[in-house]
Amino acid sequence: MEGTPHRSSATVGRHQLPACRDEGQASPFAEQWITITKQERIELTARACYWEAQHARGKTQIEALKQEILFKDAKIKDLQNRLFGKKGEKNSPLKSERDGKDNTPSKRKRGQQPGSQGHGRTKRPDLPIVHDESDLADEEKCCPTCGLPHLPTPALDEHSKVIEVEVKAHIRHIRRPAYTRNPGCTCEDTPAIVIAPPPPRLIARSNYGVSFWVEVILSKYRYGQPSNRSLQDLSDQGLPVSPGTLAGGLQALAALFAPVLEALYCKQMSEQLFHNDETRWEVFVEIEGKVGTRWYLWVTRSPSVVFYCIDPSRSAAVPGAHFAGLQADTVILVCDRYGAYKKLARLALNILLAFC
């Protein structure tokens, strides 16, 4: 209201009240009154609302810029590691100098040297033998002049061995004969129609047999062949397969290996000597809170098991979770001097580090 005194709403801000003043005692400004017009009050309120809106807008822009800076810093760090990161000693020019070796290329040719004793042809007794015969044509079995037939002489027969690899996709059509109950049979437990059960399948209602998935698993995990190249290979054999069928089948088969994975883990946790290492691993899966595609491949090797783990983190929590199932009172872990292993040894007193 105009002409009505208003108590000032000014705040102290960062300035604290004098320490000698009691908490219950009011501030000097709380006892003073000022008088302003309604026009001035409207202008002051409008300014306050304006600057509050500007402050909120600024905070939003700052948060967006912070996220952009984090993304660019991660990208710059990745590019710097690619350009200036540590390289292996395999191609280092200083390695030969440290080893005292000469960099002069050798004039000796690669492979077996002329004049050296060979080992002969490799014997392969495990390969099955398929007998075949390559005979003359009928007109060649007779003399072209007089027409008398040539006499077969088995003692002079020649034998040749050729190693063949037959790669062939085919459909196995299985016929299951059906049998009806004999009219003279009156047994109640005997069904009216008896037929052999259908062949077992790895994936229910799938037309692909066990040999198909064995070929897929071997090509992908044994020989490191990408899925697209495996599909091209199958297509060259006359068996075009869609990518969705391959991906869906591998996802369905993953559950079958869970007991094997569990058994390997339990076996490894019963041993006492381990070798550990980790390396970067690109995984193009977006997850919340992680910038970039850099994940890490952790490997734990024991005398009988090699266990792999792909994780987005390189912290000590990854080997800590793996070694949580140790059964021995004391184990030895051979590793490098990466700080995650040192922290692991501080948290798990039964792990002794042997730096390589």
Report the CATH fold assignment for 270-355: Nucleotidyltransferase; domain 5 (3.30.420)
Q: Which of 92-101, 216-225, 275-284, 324-333 has the lowest mean pLDDT?
A: 92-101
pLDDT digits (tens, 9 = 90+) for 148-157: 898 989 888 8
**Higher local confidence (pLDDT), 78 or 261:** 261
Q: Where are the domains of the chain?
A: 178-257, 270-355
Question: What is the average per-residue pLDDT within 166-185?
Answer: 87
Question: What pLDDT does residue 242 have?
Answer: 92
Which candidate, 305, 298, 303, places its Cα nearest to that of 320?
A: 298
User: Which position has the token pair 């395999």?
Assistant: 90
Query: What pLDDT does residue 131 have?
Result: 86
Asked whether the predicted pLDDT for residue 21 surpasses 70, the reply is: no
Residue whose structure tokens are 């193009």: 284
Q: State pLDDT tens for residues 177-186.
A: 998 988 888 8
Residue 115, pLDDT > 60, answer yes
Q: Which of residues 146 and 18 earns the better pLDDT score?
A: 146
- DSSP line for 298-354: EEEE-SS-EEEEEES--STHHHHHHGGG--SS-EEEEE-S-HHHHHHHHH-TTEEEE
**Residue 72 tokens, joined:** 């660019």
| pLDDT at residue number 263 | 96
CA 210 – CA 246 distance, rounded (Å): 14
Residue 108: band (very low, low, confident or very high) from pLDDT cuts 50, 70, 90: confident
- Give the confidence band of 11 by pLDDT, cuts at 50, 70, 90: very low
User: Residue 164: CA atoms inside 13 Å, Cβ hemisphere, count?
Assistant: 11
Q: Of all residues in the chain, what percent carry a pLDDT higher than 70? A: 88
Strand partners, 320: none
Mean pLDDT, range 122-150, rounded to an integer: 85
What's the pLDDT at 8?
A: 42
The confidence score (pLDDT) of residue 90 equals 54
Amino acid at 104: T
Which residues are within 8 A (CB) of 348 and not within 5 positions of it... i.e. 6 or more apart? 320, 323, 326
CB 30 within 8 A of CB 12: no
Percent of the residues in the chain that have a pLDDT greater than 90, as a whole number = 46
Of the given ranges (195-199, 262-266, 268-272), which has the lowest mean pLDDT?
195-199
Model confidence at 2, pLDDT cuts 50, 70, 90, reads very low
Amino acid letter for position 35: T
What per-residue confidence (pLDDT) applies to 269?
A: 96
Q: How far is CA 275 from CA 255, 281, 301, 304, 342, in A?
A: 28, 19, 5, 12, 14
Could you tell me which residue, 95 or 117, shows the higher pLDDT? Answer: 117
pLDDT of residue 45: 92
As a whole number, mean pLDDT of residues 49-53 equals: 93
Residue type at 130?
V
**Dist CA 310 CA 293 (whole Å):** 12
Confidence class for position 320, pLDDT limits 50, 70, 90 = very high
- Using CA atoms, how far residue 315 sits from 74, 252, 344, 346, in Å, is 17, 31, 10, 14
Over 90: is that where the pLDDT of 190 sits? Answer: no
pLDDT score at 95: 53
Contact 306, 322 (CB under 8 A): no
* Cross-strand partners of 127: none
User: What pLDDT, on the 0 to 100 scale, is given for residue 317?
Assistant: 95
| pLDDT at residue 13 is higher than 50 | no
Task: Report whether pLDDT(189) > 90.
Answer: no
SS3 labels along 286-313: CCCCCCCCEEEEEEEECCCCEEEEEECC
Instruction: Look at residues 69, 240, 339 and name the one whose alpha carbon lies nearest to residue 353.
Output: 339
Q: Does 3 score more than 70 pLDDT?
A: no
The mean of the pLDDT values for the chain is: 85
CA distances from 346 to 93, 339, 342, 349, 351 (A): 38, 11, 6, 6, 9
> What is the predicted pLDDT for the residue at 302?
97
Task: Report the b/e string of 289-306 with b at 16+ CB within 10 A.
Answer: eebeebbbebebbbeebe
- 132: tokens are 């075949």
